[in-house]
Amino acid sequence: MKKILCLAFLFLMIQESTSGQYNVEIEITDINNNEGIIMLQLFDKDQNVIGQEKGIIKENRSLIIFKGLKPGKYAFRFFHDENLSGIMETNRLGIPKEGYGFSNNGAGPFGPKPFKEWLFEINDNRKLTIKTRY
């Protein structure tokens, strides 16, 4: 009987660890050129950075995949690091010189929209497509 209970408990633990985890594919389009890389940060609903990825650019597009996400609300931001400096280049007024974007196309005319407008829901595997702004 103890062996059966141990096996049942082990089965439930394995099932719990693999269920409820999803992948999100983020396709970034309209990149001006194939130079450099895409730098992307993924946030949880509380604005904590939970992942950072670098995406290669091919045919003016980049695809970044995050695996094993739990159901919930997430957001991301990215920029096109054309010169591989590791930082977003801006002019003297703080206006970006490199392409950028936010989940839900959360950019307004004078900067990003409030963070809550970037949020999107994950409750299954998703593919999101975002255009780069220049």
Distance, in Å, from the CA atom of 130 to the CA atom of 3, rounded to the nearest integer, reads 51
Residue 76, both tokens: 């991301």
17-38 per-position pLDDT tens digit: 456 899 999 999 999 999 999 9
Domain limits of the chain? Answer: 22-131
77-131 per-position pLDDT tens digit: 999 999 999 999 999 999 999 999 999 998 888 889 999 999 999 999 999 999 9
> What secondary structure letter does DSSP report for 71?
S
Q: What is the CATH number of domain 22-131?
A: 2.60.40.10
pTM for the complete prediction?
0.83
Distance, in Å, from the CA atom of 67 to the CA atom of 90, rounded to the nearest integer, reads 32
Question: Identity (one letter) of the amino acid at 36?
Answer: G
